[in-house]
Chains A and B, each alone.
Chain A
Amino acid sequence: MMEDRNRSKMDVEFYLLNRDYNELTIDELAIVKEYVESEQEFNEMKSVVVGVSNLSKEEKQLEPNPAIKAALLKEFDKQKPAGAYWLNGMFISLFPKEKKLYQKPGMQLIGLAASVLLIVTIAFNSNADINNSVLAQNEGVESEEETVETHSKLEIDEANEEKNLVENLEPVAQDLEKEITTLNEVAIEEKLESVENKVIAADFMYDAQPIESVESDLSIAANLDYRSNDNNLNESEESFKKGISKDKEKVATANDKLVISAITPATAEVIEEFSLEEDEVYFMDDAAVTVGAAVTGNNSIDLPMYSRTLAEDDTDLIGILYTAM
C-alpha cells in the first residue's frame, strides 16, 4: 500500500488507495462524487493508482555508474578556487581534509616545531638563575638610589631654609648682642662701684676709722700691708677697670645658659691684690665661669660672686639669641 504521508483526506487519491467504493461513508462519497461519476470509473481509477503504487515499490531502481561519481569528484576538485593559487595548494597538501588531524602533514610539522621550541626554552631557562637574582638586586638598588636622591633633595631644601632663617635672624641677633653688651657694661660699672664702696667700707672696718678719714687714708695708704705694695688702691682700681673693660665682652656658656661675666683671670688677679690672707678661694668651673674671692679671717672681705645669675634678667633675650644661632 502506498504511503499516505503526502495525501490528505481531501484528495481523491486517498480514497482510491485506501477504500473500496462500497466502504465510503456518506461524507467521503460526497467528496469522491465531485470528481468521479460512477462506481465503475472509481474502480478504474483505483486500479491505476494501486497498480502504479505497487509498481513503484517493486520496480527495480537504476543504479548510477560509479565512474560518474569519480569523474564528478575530479571535476569538483578542479573547480575549487583554492587550487588556483600555489600557496592555497600548498595549504591543501599540508592539511588535506580527507585525513585525520594527526595524520595531516601540517599538524605533524607544527608538533615538531612546538617540541623544538619547548626544548630550547627549557634549556635557556636552566642557565638563567644567577642573572635573575642580579636583576632582582638591581631593581632594589635603583629604588634606593631614588630614595637617596629624594632625601638629598629634602636635606638641601632644609639647609636652604635654615640658611635663610639664619640670614633673617642674624641682624636680630646682632642687635640683641649689642643690647646685652650694653646692659652688661652698665651692670659691671654698677658692680664695680659697689665693690669699690665695699672695699672702702672694709678698709674702714679694718682700721675702725671713721668714714671721713678713709679717703685720706686711701690716698696715703702707706701704713697698710697692701699699701706697702708698689700699687696703691687707685692704681689697682684702674687696672681692675682695665681688666674688666678688656674682658667684658667674653662670653661663657654652661649648662645650656649663656652667662656673660666680666670676671676673667685678669680680673681675679686684681681681686687677689685685695686679699689679705692666703686662704682666698678662686673658683673657675667648667660648668660655669664663676669667679669669687672670699677673704676669711679678721680681715675678711667678701667680694661679689659673678655667676650665671648675672644675666638671668635677660633670659628671654638670651633664649632668642640661642635659637637664632
Chain B
Amino acid sequence: MQLVKKSYTAETDENLMREVIKGNNLAFSEIYDRWSKPMLNYFYKMLWQDREKAEDFMQEIFTKIIHKPQLYNPSRAFKTWIYSVANNMCKNEYRRAEVRKGTSNSLHDNIIVHDSSAPDKEHDKNIFNDRLKEELELLSENHKKTFILRFKHDLSIKDIAEILETSEGTVKSRIFYTVKKLGKNLKEFSPVAKTIMVGVCLIELIQYII
C-alpha cells in the first residue's frame, strides 16, 4: 500500500487505461488532462470550427471511455485508438450533416464560403489561415482528415493509416494530392507568386509615376 498519493504523470497512456478499466479515477483524470485538449482541437478543426460542438464531442468521447473502457485493447497504442474513435464520431456527424443538408437543401452553416477574390487578405497570416480553412472544408473527408492529422496533429504516416484503417501508401497519396491542390488554390501565398506580385506592383507603380 502506498504511503503517498501515487503520481500517474510518468505512466504511459496504455498503463493508465489499464488502471481506468480497474476503476481508478486518478488514472482517468490523467488521461483526460493529456488528451482533452488535442481532442477538442481535433473536433474543432474537423467539425467546422464549432467550439460548442467540439466540446460536446470531446465530452462524449471521454464518456465513452468511462462507460466502455473495455473497448480499448491495451496492446494497441492509445493515441491511434482515441483518434480513430474521434474519426468515427466525425464520420457519423458528417453523415448526419449530409442528411440535414438534404432535408434543408442548404449548405452547412459552418462551411465558410470561399471568397478567393479578396485581394486585401493575401498578405496576412490570418488571411492565409482563413483561406486554408476554407480550402480544407472543400476537400473530401478523407483528404481533410489525413491532412489535419498529418500537419495539425503531427501524426506519422503509420499512425494515420491505423487511425483511418487504410494503408500507408494511401495516406501518402492523399497527403500529396491535398498539398498539391492546396498549393494550386493558394498559389498566391507561394514565394514565387509573391515575387511576381511584387514585381507586378512595382511595374504598375513605375508606369504610374512615368
Contact = CB atoms under 8 A, between A and B. Distances in A.
B155 interface: yes
Interface stretch (A8-16, A226-234, A263-271): A8-16
A3 to B, nearest CB: 7
Contacts, number: 134
A47 interface: yes
Interface in A70-107: 71-73, 75-77, 79-82, 97-102
A179 to B, nearest CB: 99
A76 B28 contact: yes
B192 A43 contact: yes
Contacts of A46: 183, 190-191
Nearest to A78: B66
A65 B168 CA distance: 35
A48 interface: yes
Interface string A94-128: 00011111100000000000000000000000000
Main SS class of interface, B = helix
B1 to A, nearest CB: 6
Contacts of B40: 62-64
A81 to B, nearest CB: 7
A192 interface: no
B76 interface: no
B180 interface: yes
A73 B182 contact: no
B187 A44 contact: yes
Given A61-B37, A68-B55, A52 B3 contact: no
Contacts of B59: 68, 71-72
A319 interface: no
Contacts of B23: 80-82
Interface in A24-49: 35, 40-41, 43-49
Contacts of A76: 25, 28, 66
A47 B189 contact: yes
Given A56-B152, A73-B25, A81-B23, A43 B1 contact: no
B151 A53 contact: yes
Interface in B172-207: 172, 175-176, 179-180, 182-184, 186-187, 189-193
Given A48-B179, A52-B151, A55-B129, A100 B5 contact: yes
Interface string B24-55: 11101100100011001100100000010011
Interface string A232-247: 0000000000000000
A61 B24 CA distance: 29
A44 B184 contact: yes
Interface residues of A, number: 48
B190 A44 contact: yes
A41 B183 CA distance: 7
Nearest to A82: B23
A72 B66 contact: yes
A135 B41 CA distance: 81
A58 B2 CA distance: 42
25 contacts: A2-B154, A6-B155, A12-B176, A41-B183, A44-B187, A47-B189, A47-B190, A48-B132, A49-B179, A51-B128, A51-B189, A52-B132, A59-B129, A61-B41, A63-B37, A68-B58, A68-B62, A73-B29, A75-B66, A77-B25, A80-B23, A82-B23, A101-B1, A101-B2, A101-B3
Interface of A: 2-3, 6, 11-13, 16, 35, 40-41, 43-49, 51-56, 58-59, 61-65, 68-69, 71-73, 75-77, 79-82, 97-102
Given A16-B179, A101-B3, 19 more contacts: A41-B184, A44-B187, A45-B180, A47-B183, A48-B179, A48-B183, A52-B152, A55-B125, A55-B129, A59-B129, A62-B41, A63-B37, A64-B37, A68-B62, A71-B59, A73-B32, A76-B66, A79-B67, A102-B3
